[in-house]
Structure 1
Amino acid sequence: MSGTLADEIRDRLGDLSPAERKVARVLLAGYPAAVFETVATIAERAAVSTPTVLRCASRLGYRGFPDLQAALRAELDARNASPITLYESAAAAQTPVPGATTGGDRSPDPQLALVQQALSQTFHEMSPHEFESAAELLADPRRRIHLVGGRFTHLLAQYLGLHLMQIRDQVSFLPDRDVERTSFLTQLARRDVTVVFDYRRYEDDMTLIAELARERGGKVIAFTDPWLSPASAHADVVLISQVNSASPYDSLTPTLALVEALISAVLDRLGPDAHQRMKDAEGVARRTGLL
């Protein structure tokens, strides 16, 4: 999946008639709930006829309005999927093949192909503008950088943060303990950049952190999946990675590759300053016995 139904509607606005565009704007304004309204209600809100609503759905590539609604249901199911539901749906879809091998004899080729596809699609669909904006923000020495992630993605936040610490100053992780985290969030300021990693199933505190950072005038970079974390609504930069996997767990390999590409881009922008920072850090590490 390369985007949401809302993205698809926005992309097709130019293909719609003026009346159909009114319908599309009603759907986008109240997305996703508006899509589940009756055709008559949508027609009334858009000030168009009922047939116009039906034509809009057809022009968007659906057999009818129920088909469009079914597509949104599938999107929302995917957005809220957990490892358990993914495991159960995959198991239900499997059809045993007579004579097929199992266990250790199974070829890894399909799994490798999925990872390769996810990697390729992630970088193919990456917005150069979003990537460049993220690199510029992380390379700005006037800004403090704060990083936070979720259940699994805190590992990615640490991976990015530990690299940034070697090449620039003022990089930190949001504390885990309540009192320390509250104090930390209270001190967020206008020149700060908060980097949030949030993938399905999304975590409410990631959205609240992004919201607080924006309220205080800072910048927010959100790493997320194609279904978009709610934190994305508060982000200045959104970096999307595919998560296709042969297992019930979403793959974070494409995100790791994106993080490494971003580290390289930041390093290029910092230039000699990053080199000197690395030399200074290594000198301190050797002197204190850490290397």
Structure 2
Amino acid sequence: MTAASAQPASVAEAIRRGLGDCTPAERKVGRVLLASYPSAGFETVAKLAARAGVSGPTVVRFANRLGYSGFPEFQQALRDDLDQRSASPLSIYDRAREAAGEQQQSPEGGVLERAAATTVQTVDATFRRLAPHDFDACVELLADAKGSVWLAGGRYSGLLARFLAQHLLQLRPRVAMLPDDPSTRAAVVAGLGRADALVVFDYRRYEESTRSLVEHVRAQRVPVVLFTDAWLSPIASEADVVVQSETTSASPFDAMTPALALVEAVIAGCLERLGDRATERMRRIERSASQLGLY
């Protein structure tokens, strides 16, 4: 199955992927929904149509285009999405136990067996659903940015941001994590411009500070790459490139393995795109490390 044919994991993903098949009027509806996702989808047909500058029947046709029997079914799917987007590890755990109780049976196999199967399935689904265009755009932006590449993440995803930063720094100059210190971060962000690039990692439960950061740099015309989950961070409507990964795991905590696999693929893509520039830089770094007795 190709990325184009894989089943969308969320309503937001279905909207993003379906825009190319829409009429110009329907596309306006999709863009309004993504720009204010998911709140815009809970408005009445008439209000959403007015915001998009289209007719009411166009809004209904857009919902039909996505595979829903009508706008009420579309809104129910949005409610389900919102429930998933805001789910905490504890609520996920409670739901799993409740479902197991209703089925009156325990999950098959041991933890190790279940974790292995889930990880393989989740990583596979992540790569199947990733549009090649999004991957290529991510690699191009990170490899070719004329200025600096800055990275930021959340409580857990900050580990992924640091992993990507450390590897990118081996391949190209001017790569760094955004400082955690408030005054230093403010000073760095104030100096960003369109020659730079910002990479952010934002997974449920999405962090307001990350959203504020992206909104601020977009006003400065800084290109943004977003790594997020299947439900799409609210930042998705602001980002130039969105790279999604599945997060299903054998525990109530969202899996980071698929996201790490995508990060490693991006690193490989940047190395290939930079070619001799990257390998020569790596050689210089190795020589310096040896002369400094670092490794």
TM-score range, shorter chain: 0.7 to 0.9
SS at match of 1:251: coil
Distance 1:145 1:23 in 2: 32
Distance 1:268 1:23 in 2: 37
Preserved CA contact (<8 Å) 2:13 2:232: no
Map residues 102-117 of structure 1 onto 2, 5 A cutoff. Answer: 106=110, 108-117=112-121
Match of 2:150 among 146, 168, 181: 146
Preserved CA contact (<8 Å) 2:138 2:241: yes
Partner residue, 1:88: 94
Shift of 1:119: 0.8
Shift of 1:7: 4.6
Is 38-47 or 263-272 further displaced after alignment?
38-47
Instruction: Extract unaligned runs of 5+ from structure 1.
Output: none
CA gap of 1:48–1:259, structure 2 versus 1, over 3 A, is closer
The percentage of aligned residue pairs carrying the same residue is 44
Partner residue, 1:199: 203
Partner residue, 1:134: 138
Partner residue, 1:79: 85
Preserved CA contact (<8 Å) 2:10 2:231: yes
Letter in 2 for 1:194: L
Match of 1:218 among 214, 219, 222: 222
Letter in 2 for 1:120: D
Shift of 1:191: 0.4
Distance 1:142 1:17 in 2: 37
Partner residue, 1:36: 42
Distance 2:180 2:196 in 1: 19
Shift of 1:134: 1.2
Distance 1:174 1:22 in 2: 36
CA gap of 1:121–1:22, structure 2 versus 1, over 3 A, is closer
Instruction: Extract unaligned runs of 5+ from structure 2.
Output: 1-6
Shift of 1:70: 2.0
Q: 1:92-142: CA deviations, max 9, x gaps?
A: 11128889699xx82533322221111111111111111111111211262
Pair member with larger Rg:
1
TM norm structure 1: 0.83
CA gap of 1:153–1:30, structure 2 versus 1, over 3 A, is closer
TM norm structure 2: 0.82
Distance 1:26 1:217 in 2: 20
Distance 2:190 2:48 in 1: 43
Partner residue, 2:277: 273
